[in-house]
Amino acid sequence: MNSHLISFQLNTMPVSVETTPDARLIDVLREHFRLTGTKEGCGEGECGACMILLDDRPTLSCLVAIGAIDGKRVITIEGLRETPGFAILAQAFNDAGAVQCGYCTPGMIMIAYALLRDQRDPDESSIRRAMAGNLCRCTGYAMIVEAIRLAATRRGQSW
Amino acid sequence: MNSVFTANLDRADTPDKCDGGARYVHDLQVAGMLHAVTVRSSVRRGTITSITVPELPAGYVQVSAADVPGVNQISYFKDPCPFFAPGSVQYRGEAVLLLVGGDPAKLHRLARQTIIEYDEIPAIHTMEEALAGDKPPIFGSDNIYIEERFGHGDVDGAIARAAEVFTTTTETGYQDHLYLEPQGVLACPEVDRMTIYVSSQGPHAARKVVAAALGWDEASVRVIQTTVGGGFGGKIEPPMFLAAQSAVAAHHCGKPVRLIYTREEDLLCTTKRHPSRITVTSALAADGSILAVDIDSLFQGGGYSQSCAMVLDTGTKKASGVYHFPAIRVRGRGLASNNPMPGAFRGFGAPQNYFALETHLNALARKLGREPLEMKRALFIKQGDATITGGRYHFATGLDETISAATEAAGYYRRRKALPAGPSTRRGLGQALVKFGAPNSVDSKISLDSRSIGLRKHSDGRIEILSELVEMGQGLHTAFRKLVARHLDLPVKRVSHAPGDTDAVPFLSITGASMSVVLFGATLLEAADKLKARLDEPGEVTILQPARQPDHVFWDATALRGEPFHSYAWGTFIAEVEVDMITYQVQVVDLWVALDVGSVIDRRLVQGQIEGGAVQGLGFSLLECMPRDGFSCSLTDYLIPTFLDAPQVHGLIVETPYPPGPYGAKCVGEPPLVGVGPAIADAVANACGVEIYQLPITPEYLLQRMTKR
């Protein structure tokens, strides 16, 4: 397949990359742009570790071909961490003990951010349903649920 | 309740893990780096007759057993194991060679085009085939990697005299660790040196393996531990193989080589929990009391023994559970097969044996119409009782307190008989009791002097912990910082943990078997005692403290007599399940896990271990299904618990201090997993009125049990 110039917005900056359009977005983010906060846990859309926001929608970057995002907006954990919402989420993850090995954590925070953007104060079952595509093998999940509830109580008008 | 450690300490690693800044091995890129892809055996057993690699582009090479400058062997195990197939293969997925080059996609394509031909040898698929002896043996003449027997009293006599003999056989399957971070290594050759970046549970063990592979002295190899994205025992063995292979490749090419597994490869060829089949026979008196117990425990190993001997050994020593039987015989055997390769996994042989024994006793109680906890209570180990290896339970046991905590929180006695059934659902409560010995004693004739942990006071007053023990998520480094700060009476922010780098920290041990806090935490406090007297000295002060077993431990590894373990955690598990009588799906509604872990160093970390371990145990009990002679190489087939499968886990902490432990602490890493299976099985049995003898309890299995004529 021939290389194409793909242009998109990455963490608020306009960027272009010369690549074959079937390259996976996760590889372009990690290997080309060196944004390694987006993790690969399975490469088949089952674990959620590679979650990013594509035009504000939580999306698994291992399932997206770079050719499909021309002209779109991508936010990774490296972009999200500049926001006040991230600071509240990270503090809540810390306080609830929601981080152990940490490999799932950036993906968890990406989807939690989108959840709290769409729902001001989700109850436990809404949180569990919204997060069900993100796997964690360390915590047993309850502390992550608690972190998101804590963040919901502390969010104010931050996002 | 101990009052030494009141507040939880924020982990130092959380901010980087949240914002994506933490560097896992897959995140490392260095100039000139090449990638490696593994070409694997497509058959279970055979002799390699030819290998045809497609013509490789410039800059691409293959690396195999022929390119190993040192020995093609991992010496960490009781029996040597090659890291490149040495002309023959013993399991599907065994590494035959690496293809190395610049583009991972191209390498994967070339790997698929590589043709390996074999003279196949009839593979051993089951434990029956391993014992039957009608296929060429994989190991020795009988396929037995290890056999051990423990016990006391006249078991055969008791069975002969018994009013009744009651027998159960339980089976458990594979479980994959499914750490979220797949295995990976980056090997960087330098002038006369090799630096290995690895996600492992033991940097010095990896260094030894790499040095032997290259034929170098150990000082010429440096291993740097990267952030570990989960271990659970699964990053003890496989990283040694990846490290040796990538070091040989990097040496061969003279360039850095990065080897990262896909999830498919990781599921196919890395270690898993040993499948088991365990028969428990009890000799009963006329009143139903137990006169003797006979346990025959079979573990299905793989095509190489790897850590089968260690897992079988510790599991067999734990097989008598929380009981002091009038007479007992435990026989454990680890068998060779050509099935997927098992190894170390959180629980180390205990989950299989506790499922067998607790299921046996719970079934017996139902058969006799007895309340199981009351029936079991008559047999509980008491302080001062003998172990099945002729040692003693030297210290107070917290078992009764865990039973009280769990039964009260669950409303067990009140609700057990009165759980409501829905129109198409049934509910049940079940329980299981466990003890967990840790660490495994080593032979008292062996000095541990070459193993040490240290502390360094820098000239600016900072204190650094010098330890190779790995932070893999469990919170060990946080616990160590708290111990040292408390012991030196310094603010905890003055205490940091050195990076896991074999140039910077001394050889101590792999991180596993729940031994880091209870044993090496105590050694660390001995170092702190020495440093305390020298805190006011100017300049840098370094203390290296050799490890030693505590004074009450004597173990003879030849006779298998003495204290099998240093300390014991005790636990009560209660599960409440709802069973859908149309789909036969089991949902765990609540799980109460009461553990006596000794004194608590950090309550939030202990809760994290309890909740995470219990949910991993739930996966083992209900969901995680890998055909015993087959393969599940995708998360679409191999299901682990999600947010929607995980129940409310009620962690209940009992603190019976263990005097030789640091401030009385015992262990917490493995115990939360080991009792979940039998508690869920008992709950399902109570809900459905059929005994459950298999994990995982799949809908298919439950359907068969309930519709069997």
Q: How far is CA A52 from CA B22, B29, B322, in A?
A: 17, 22, 48
Question: Do A99 and A68 share a structural domain?
Answer: no
Section B277-299 average pLDDT: 98
Question: Do A74 and A10 share a structural domain?
Answer: yes
The partner residue sitting opposite B640, judged by closest CB among A106, A135, A145, is A135
Q: How far is CA B557 from CA B147, B148, B561, B564, in A?
A: 14, 11, 7, 9
Question: Do A68 and A31 share a structural domain?
Answer: yes
Classify residue B306 as left (phi > 0), alpha (psi -120 to 50) or beta.
left
Question: Do A107 and A71 share a structural domain?
Answer: no
pLDDT of residue B289: 97
Task: State what percent of residues in chain B have pLDDT above 90.
Answer: 96
Question: Do A71 and A133 share a structural domain?
Answer: no
Section B605-614 average pLDDT: 98
Residue-wise pLDDT for B552-580, tens only, equals: 999 999 999 999 999 999 999 999 999 99
Among candidate residues A57, A78, A99, the one where a domain is terminated: A78
Chain B closest CA to A10's CA: distance in Å?
16
| pLDDT category of residue B709 using cuts at 50, 70 and 90 | low
Question: Do A114 and A53 share a structural domain?
Answer: no
Question: Do A131 and A68 share a structural domain?
Answer: no
- What is the extent of the structural domain holding A98? 83-154
User: Is A99 in the B-facing interface, judged by CB distances under 8 Å?
Assistant: yes
- Domain-embedded: residue A52: yes
**Residue to test with chain A: of B8, B9, B11, B14, most A Cβ within 10 A:** B14
Task: State what percent of residues in chain B have pLDDT above 70.
Answer: 99
Among candidate residues A50, A78, A106, the one where a domain is terminated: A78
The partner residue sitting opposite A100, judged by closest CB among B23, B27, B474, is B474
User: Is B642 in the A-facing interface, judged by CB distances under 8 Å?
Assistant: yes
Q: What is the pTM of this model?
A: 0.97
Section A26-45 average pLDDT: 97
pLDDT of residue A32: 95
Q: Say which CATH number the domain at A10 has.
A: 3.10.20.30
Question: Do A66 and A41 share a structural domain?
Answer: yes
| pLDDT category of residue A2 using cuts at 50, 70 and 90 | confident
Q: Could you say which DSSP state residue B230 is in?
A: -
Q: Please list the residues that pair with B334 across neighbouring strands.
A: B146, B299
Q: Which residue of A has its CA nearest to B231?
A: A101
State yes or no: pLDDT of A1 exceeds 80.
Answer: no
- Tokens describing residue B553: 């431990």
Section B189-202 average pLDDT: 97
pLDDT of residue B59: 97
Q: Which residue of A has its CA nearest to B672?
A: A140
Cis peptide before B696 (omega within 30 of 0): yes
pLDDT of residue B629: 65
How large is the ipTM? 0.98
User: Is B612 in the A-facing interface, judged by CB distances under 8 Å?
Assistant: yes
Number of domains forming the structure of chain A = 2
| pLDDT category of residue A8 using cuts at 50, 70 and 90 | very high
State yes or no: pLDDT of B145 exceeds 80.
Answer: yes
- Tokens describing residue B457: 């006071």
Residue-wise pLDDT for B317-356, tens only, equals: 999 999 999 999 999 999 999 999 999 999 999 999 999 9
- Tokens describing residue B526: 């001995």
State yes or no: pLDDT of B82 exceeds 90.
Answer: yes
| Residues 6+ away with beta carbon under 8 Å from B168 | B279, B280, B356, B359, B360, B363, B691, B693
d(CA B234, CA B184): 12
pLDDT of residue B418: 80
Looking at chain B, the number of H-run helices and the number of E-run strands are 18, 26
Reply yes or no on domain B25-121+177-269 having CATH 3.40.50.280. Answer: no
d(CA B346, CA B425): 33
d(CA B156, CA B291): 11
Q: In Å, how far from its chain's centre is CA B449? A: 26
Residue-wise pLDDT for B428-438, tens only, equals: 999 999 999 99
CB contact under 8 A, A41 and B181: yes
Chain A closest CA to B366's CA: distance in Å?
31
- Same fold yes or no, B25-121+177-269 and B276-441+561-707: yes
Residue spans of beta strands (DSSP E) within B467-597: 495-497, 541-546, 555-556, 561-562, 565-580, 586-596
- Domain-embedded: residue A141: yes
pLDDT of residue B103: 94
Q: Which CATH architecture has domain B276-441+561-707?
A: 2-Layer Sandwich (3.30)
Question: Do A110 and A138 share a structural domain?
Answer: yes
Among candidate residues A46, A78, A110, the one where a domain is terminated: A78
- Domain-embedded: residue A113: yes
Q: For B449-548, give the CATH class.
A: alpha beta
Section A7-30 average pLDDT: 97
Q: Please list the residues that pair with B87 across neighbouring strands.
A: none
d(CA B615, CA B644): 11
Residue type, B486: R
d(CA B124, CA B143): 10
The partner residue sitting opposite B634, judged by closest CB among A44, A99, A144, is A44
Question: Do A104 and A59 share a structural domain?
Answer: no
On whether the CB atoms of residues B670 and B613 are closer than 8 A, the answer is yes
- Domain-embedded: residue A159: no
Residue-wise pLDDT for A48-83, tens only, equals: 999 999 999 999 999 999 999 999 999 999 999 999
Question: Do A87 and A48 share a structural domain?
Answer: no
Q: Of B298, B296, B299, nearest to B308 (Cα)?
A: B299
Relative to beta strand B586-596, strand B648-654 is parallel
Q: Please list the residues that pair with B128 across neighbouring strands.
A: none
- Tokens describing residue B365: 């109680």
| Residues 6+ away with beta carbon under 8 Å from A9 | A15, A72, A73, A74
Residue-wise pLDDT for A101-123, tens only, equals: 999 999 999 999 999 999 999 99
Contacts of B258 in chain A (CB under 8 A): none
Per domain, the residue ranges of chain B are: 25-121+177-269, 276-441+561-707, 449-548
The partner residue sitting opposite B262, judged by closest CB among A43, A89, A104, is A43
User: Is B229 in the A-facing interface, judged by CB distances under 8 Å?
Assistant: yes
644-663 in chain B: CB under 8 A from chain A: 644, 646, 648-649
Question: Do A127 and A97 share a structural domain?
Answer: yes
